[in-house]
Structure 1
Amino acid sequence: MRKLLRILFSFLFFLTSFGVYFTNRIMYIKKKDEQLILNREKNAGRFDPDEFQYLPKREVSIPSPFGYELKMILVEPHSAKHYIIISHGVTENKINSIKYMKLFLERGFNAVIYDHRRHGESGGKTTSYGYYEKFDLKAVVNWLKKEKGPDLLLGIHGESMGAATMLLYAGMVEDGADFYISDCSFSDFKEQLSYLLKTEMKLTPRPLLPIADVFLRMRERYSLRDISPISVIQQIKNPILFIHSKKDTYILPSMTEALYEKKKGPKMLFLAENGAHAQSLNENKEDYEAAIDEFLREFGFLNKDT
């Protein structure tokens, strides 16, 4: 009897240890050093501090529905009520969004760049890969519409987790923007974790993911099943441009292709020839810009003379 109890205790201890360890890896994913991001973008010529300094802009802080502050920058060099919100990827911050912002400034848009929860200057203790972030994005959209009026032309561009956040937001109950650009989103977070467990950690997803899911629900009040852009993609009516690098081995391009196939209504797909994960713009700049121009013109968001 004692031996059986020891075995049972050891098994429960293993389950608990793994559940806490794995959910810690998810909730507290190691972020990139902010100075590293800054230096990387400066050295690559994607961020010029002097150029950025003289842009008409202001820093804004708004409350998240979860009690912390969201830090963002509103950049407004244009008089037209055309705006783009940039949603950055996991472990990054709003400095990484500047390269995308510049594309839209050149096309007559004003921009909002902001830090997700637990990233950059924003508050929040954990990362949820779009589950809680989508409500923060909704707060950003609502603030902008209240500030500038409901008649603005609004787009949202998301990279990686930021793209998943954007799709989850758009698929809730409202098409809050006029168009969306989804760059290298995962289609389903549980499927993505399963892939990473097998390829990076050489582990079998079963029964590890079900155990992790139980602990995630206890600790963060959501399930892995709740982070699934492909489950809501059919609810998004407005146009989406899907982008992914063919050589991405972190989030496979087949995930974006699946999202594209399931999306009903107006859509376009651009698969970049070069670049690893989230490098489609960096490694295919001309083709990336051409894809954006084609998308914006096709659906009437960019004048031919712009």
Structure 2
Amino acid sequence: MKKIILRIVVGLFIIAIIINFMIGYYLYDLAIERNVKDFLNGNQDLQVSAQAMEEFTQGDWRDWVKAQNFKEWKMKSYDGIALQGYFLPAKEPTNKTVVFAHGYLGRASDMGLFGQHYVEELGYNMFTADMRGHGESGGDYIGFGWHDRLDLIDWVNRVVDELGDDTEIVLHGLSMGAATVLMASGEELPDNVKAIVADSPYTSVNDLFAYQLDRMFKLPEFPILPTTGLITNIKAGYNIKEASALEQVKKAEVPILYIHGGSDTFVPTSMTKELLKNTKSEAELMIVDGANHGESIILERDKYLDTLTRFLDKYVY
């Protein structure tokens, strides 16, 4: 009888392991593999105001982007992935350049929503790139900012090489791009990087997945995410636990402006508050009440741009 019970227990344990790995592979395919992400269609947490949706899809900034003569830059990443970037010189010569990082499933041109202000009003050069696994860049997986942080630093070095040692650089990221610039903040950045702007970042990939796993599927973090992390490590070369903006900002030397919507349900506002609390460098926080994920610049444009400009004036000369 004991042997039968033991066999049943062992059998159930093996079945549980198999199911756990099946879920892990499913989550990898769902979120990290480069493919069509239908699961985001109709996601309540990504529903923004009609005003924001109209601006995202039909805003004048889109026509502005199309009208610009961006120079195409190409680069091989440290691990051999072909990356595509786009550089736009300012109308008048300047030593100021903004380097953008776009959000999940986005592309370089999306950052024209912010870039138009930098170029037209602040007189900056603008650089924006398709992150690995996005747009015209190569890669069969999404790095959620971790490998992208090293790509970003390589792009920064390219900007300095092209424009000269006196170049002053601002890193500005949105959502996944915000996590990317924060992950880069903990690395040894060139002295040219004077300020960082992080709009709607998450603390870590593991924290984001845990939050969404509960919100979307009502499933626990353990043992699913450790298994997903193992699979991600095997297939994409990084573990979702190590991909932490929170640990990186603890080493940051560059001033950081945090921006987050007060009603963000896709990446909770509490994550930015935790990042601020743990940031080693000088840091500021602007919360836009009533704004969902990534719509702060639209719902409170004047406040957003005034805060951004004031912050940049403190650190970029």
TM-score calculated relative to the size of structure 2:
0.86
Distance in 2 (CA, whole Å) between partners of 1:223 and 1:272 is 32
Report the Cα distance in structure 2 between the residues aligned to 1:69 and 1:135, rounded to whole angstroms: 14
8 A Cα contact 1:175 1:237, kept in partner: no
Matches of 2:274 and 2:57, distance apart in 1: 35
Contact 2:184 2:248 (C-alpha < 8 Å) held by counterparts: no
Letter in 2 for 1:294: R
1:58-115 Cα deviation digits (max 9, x unpaired): 1111111221221111101230121001100011111211111111112010100110
User: 1:104 corresponds to which residue?
Assistant: 118
Q: Does 1:88 align with 2:102?
A: yes
**Following TM superposition, by how much is the alpha carbon of 1:224 offset from its aligned partner in structure 2, in angstroms?**
1.8
3-state SS, counterpart of residue 19 of structure 2: helix
The answer to whether the Cα contact below 8 Å between 2:34 and 2:140 also exists between their aligned partners in 1 is: no
Identity among equivalent pairs (%): 23
Give the Å deviation of 1:15: 2.7
Q: Retained in 1: the 8 A contact 2:34–2:133?
A: no
Conserved? CA contact 1:91–1:119, under 8 Å: yes
- The 1:53–1:23 alpha-carbon spacing in structure 2 relative to 1, beyond 3 Å, is closer
How far does residue 194 in structure 1 lie from its aligned partner after superposition? 1.1
The answer to whether the 8 A contact 1:273-1:284 is kept is: no
Q: Which has the higher contact order (CA 8 A, sep 6+)?
A: 2
- Equivalent position to 1:63, from 57, 66, 76: 76
Relative to structure 1, the CA distance from residue 54 to residue 190 in structure 2 (aligned partners, 3 Å threshold; closer, same or farther) is: closer
Give the gaps of 5 or more residues in structure 2.
39-53
Measure the CA separation in 1 of the matches of 2:280 and 2:211. 27
Give the whole-Å Cα distance in 1 for the aligned partners of 2:58 and 2:93: 31
Deviations 1:37-77 (A, max 9, x none): xx9745133311xx445434311111112212211111012
The equivalent of 1:19 in structure 2 is 24
Distance change >3 Å, CA 209–CA 243, structure 1 → 2: same
Counterpart position of 1:133: 148
In 2, distance between residues paired with 1:84 and 1:99? Answer: 13
Q: TM-score by structure 1 length? A: 0.88
Aligned partners of 2:241 and 2:37: how far apart in 1? 27
Counterparts of 1:256-271 in structure 2, within 5 Å, are: 256-271=272-287
- 1:75 equivalent to 2:88? Answer yes
> 2:180 & 2:199 partners in 1: Cα distance?
11
CA RMSD of aligned residues (A): 2.2
**Corresponding position of 1:163:** 178
Q: Is the 8 A contact 1:30 1:91 kept in 2?
A: no
In the TM superposition, what are the counterparts of 1:240-251 in structure 2 within 5 Å? Answer: 240-251=256-267
* CA–CA separation in structure 2 for the residues paired with 1:145 and 1:45: 31
Q: Please tell me whether the aligned partners of residues 78 and 110 of structure 1 are also in contact (alpha carbons under 8 angstroms).
A: no
Q: 1:263/1:9 Cα in 2 relative to 1: closer, same or farther (>3 Å)?
A: closer
